[in-house]
Structure 1
Amino acid sequence: MKNSFKMFSITIIVIVIVVIAALLLLGRNSHSDLSGSIFEKVDQYLTNEKFQGTVLIAKEGDVLFSKGYGLAAADVPNSPSTLYPIASLSKTFTAVAVLQLVEQERLSLDDAVSQYFPDFPKGESITISHLLSHSSGIPDYLKPNFKFDYSQEWNPYDIVKTVSDSELEFTPGQSFRYSNTGYVMLGLIIEKVSGQSYANYIEEHIFEPSSMFHSMFTVPAGMPQAEGHIEEKVGPFMHHSAAYAAGDIISTAEDLERFDRALRNHVLISKETSELMGMTHAKKFPHRYGYGWYTQDVMGKKAVGHPGGYPSGFRHYVARLIDEDLTVIVLSNEMTVNAKRINRHLTSIVLQQPIWIWEERL
């Protein structure tokens, strides 16, 4: 019996040693297969990955790398000026707009939702802060059980009504669950407080001061733009109104870098408010969320970031490393692209720091 236990213990120890050795040997990628300068390595990595889309990398206010790969649409190559529906990257814009109004004392983060939506169930227990941090408990209207039709034109109030008869998923402020519904409601609050349409407010108070002259909500007829793909086939039609303030901005990699620079230079909101955006206000493992940003540690560096995606065939990811003043923007018009993984590897190459396999996901 003692010999059996001893053999079992030795077997377990050997397995643990083998697993640790495998992780040390195979669990991280130093990109040793790439050669040349850092940005030659970036280009090689994206080419090897058969990436389709656009990448822009900026540091300390300077664009270090900017290039498109593959086609945006038939006979239209991807480039840094290609127009993309940026999907949930729009949430950061919505959050900035709300916080601008907070700075102007036109609303408060502690305002109850019932102040703006008197008939919304339990609205008195949900605050604007909860909406911003996805800690409201309001169900996401894009969950499969709501059978939401992306292809039709939507009024944002009707989007909110989609979930208004549903129970909250948890007590407001007690957990985290991503809710596009909450950001649709924030867009309507911006309209009520500012007296402008959501689109007009964003154009005047964010696009213009950021010099985002190629960002919009509707693409004029005949203007080239990226077309979504799923496994190289054109994706299904999605009406832009189906996302509203949760994701209906159309922009370019170049303009997103201008937005990033405006935030870093405190053109849009104060330094204190920007720091408030990047603080964790809600969490549920493995997620942490501030206001309009996921709050993260990227390869040991303090960072914020956000994904964006449309079922019509788009996958995006933006990461901002705070202390390094480094921003990595990945926009793709191919649904099968793992934009976050690409973003993390690009960050690894730029930092010249090997990346562990689990860091691709964090």
Structure 2
Amino acid sequence: MRFSVCAAFAGLLAGLALPALALPVFAADPEVLRQKVQAIADAYVRDTAPGERATGISVSVSLPGGAMVNLGAGKVSTAADAAPITPETLYQIGSVSKSFTAAALLQLQAEGKVDLDDTLGKWTPEYPAWKDVTIRRLLNMTSGIMGYDNAPAMAETFQKLGMGRHFSPAVLVGFVDPTYPGAPEATEGYDYSNTNYILAGMVIERAGGMTVQETFQTRFFGDRYGLTDSHYVEGVFPKDVTDRMASGYFVAAAMPELKAFETDDIKLADMSWAGAAGGIVSSPAQVNLWVRALFAGDVLDAAGKAELTDVVSMKTGKTIGRASADDPHGFGLGVSGFSSAMGDGWTYEGESMGFRVLYAYLPDKDLVATIALNSGAEGEADHANTVLVEILKAAME
């Protein structure tokens, strides 16, 4: 997908469907697990990262009882004097950000400020073609609205103006607004679209009276959930953040027209192009804290969690409630559910042009694992799912 901040579910789920480790017996000593995971991370840096243009990996595993294993391998960039990757190294987390956007709207609904069954005609009347689309259909990817990152005009804009181009949400949405000539046709059923979450960000601002940045900072970042090193701006991140980020490297195999960007450091890009669809910067340990808070903590009340995890089939777009062996890939509200031989749970791979962050949460085993890589490899070139499955297996041996 163009300029993807989407989830690459299929590869991870195929990995999770490998012959099951019957019932988990977690490593009694986190240091034993640390050694196993460090070996996996080192092997990735040695054998796989060069083919993906990545220079390192950060890993966080959150075990039952609260123990955490956090580590890094490799360097933050290709520079000869580059610093080592550490657990505190920051990355663009891409579409993992969508769960924050969905959670904000669910909180606003609980406060009576919005209803997920409200239509865009109420909140964004400037888009009459979508007046009957509900907020819920934005969040579960059944809106029929094409992703702006798939619009040729978006690629052309980047070609002309580079990664420093600043986009307003209205400009992003305008790339696919059928009011304008040349806009892509509507989609059917389930279809992943970043435009949905830019529109959702607009609703957050109008219903809540704060910007998306203020909303994330007020509701989620800070001490309450431990998210003291998670950041969001619709623009260029400040130096005190980018200095602690790994450099991000673009892989142009799927988009040869943007090959010139392979020389750029994506961490310095203007992230307004991702916005509420994928603009957060964080670390794997922070993502693990968020995943636990979202699914098992008090980010949402019981009703909100039920709505968050009520999935549609990624094959048909129909509501199926939960993923199952017959239909193992489901999409909720900014989260993706799976059913596999290893267990049922939640997963997401957030991608930006220079980063990949992938988590898996197995509730029945009380296990969360997140990895972060500093390149934008996609498709068959993306081996993040394989690495994460190896880490999950190590945690369950």
Report the AA paired with residue 322 of structure 1. Answer: P
Residue in 2 that maps onto 1:112: 119
More strand as a share of residues = 1
Q: Which runs of 5+ in 2 are unaligned?
A: 1-17, 22-30, 50-55, 252-261, 317-327
Residue in 2 that maps onto 1:181: 195
- Which residue of the other structure, out of 82, 96, 99, is the alignment partner of 1:92? 99
Shift of 1:88: 0.9
Distance in 2 of aligned mates of 1:43 and 1:233: 29
Shift of 1:243: 0.5
Distance in 2 of aligned mates of 1:49 and 1:77: 15
Which structure's relative contact order is higher, taking Cα pairs within 8 Å and 6+ residues apart? Answer: 2
Identity in percent:
25
State which structure, 1 or 2, has the greater radius of gyration over its C-alpha atoms.
1
Residue in 2 that maps onto 1:342: 387
Q: Which runs of 5+ in 1 are unaligned?
A: 1-26, 31-35, 353-362
* C-alpha spacing 1:102/1:29, structure 2 compared with 1 (3 Å): closer
* C-alpha spacing 1:114/1:282, structure 2 compared with 1 (3 Å): farther
Distance in 2 of aligned mates of 1:254 and 1:230: 24
Distance in 2 of aligned mates of 1:69 and 1:298: 29
* C-alpha spacing 1:114/1:167, structure 2 compared with 1 (3 Å): farther
SS in 2 for 1:346: helix
How do residues 132-211 of structure 1 correspond to structure 2 at under 5 angstroms?
132-148=139-155, 149-150=157-158, 151=163, 152-165=165-178, 166=183, 168-171=185-188, 175-208=189-222, 209-211=224-226
Residue in 2 that maps onto 1:305: 347
Deviations 1:52-77 (A, max 9, x none): 22010002352432101111234222
| Greater mean alpha carbon deviation, residues 270-279 or residues 138-147 | 270-279
C-alpha contact (below 8 Å) 1:320/1:327 kept by paired residues: yes
Distance in 2 of aligned mates of 1:244 and 1:116: 18
Instruction: Give the RMSD, CA atoms, in angstroms.
Output: 2.5
| Misfit runs of 4+, over 6 Å | 27-30
C-alpha contact (below 8 Å) 2:151/2:176 kept by paired residues: no
C-alpha contact (below 8 Å) 1:53/1:334 kept by paired residues: no
- Which residue of the other structure, out of 234, 238, 244, is the alignment partner of 2:275? 244
Report the AA paired with residue 169 of structure 1. Answer: A
SS in 2 for 1:323: helix
Shift of 1:217: 2.0
Report the AA paired with residue 210 of structure 1. Answer: Y
Distance in 2 of aligned mates of 1:215 and 1:252: 7
Shift of 1:252: 1.7
Count the aligned residue pairs: 317
Shift of 1:282: 4.2
TM-score w.r.t. the length of structure 1 is 0.80
Residue in 2 that maps onto 1:18: none
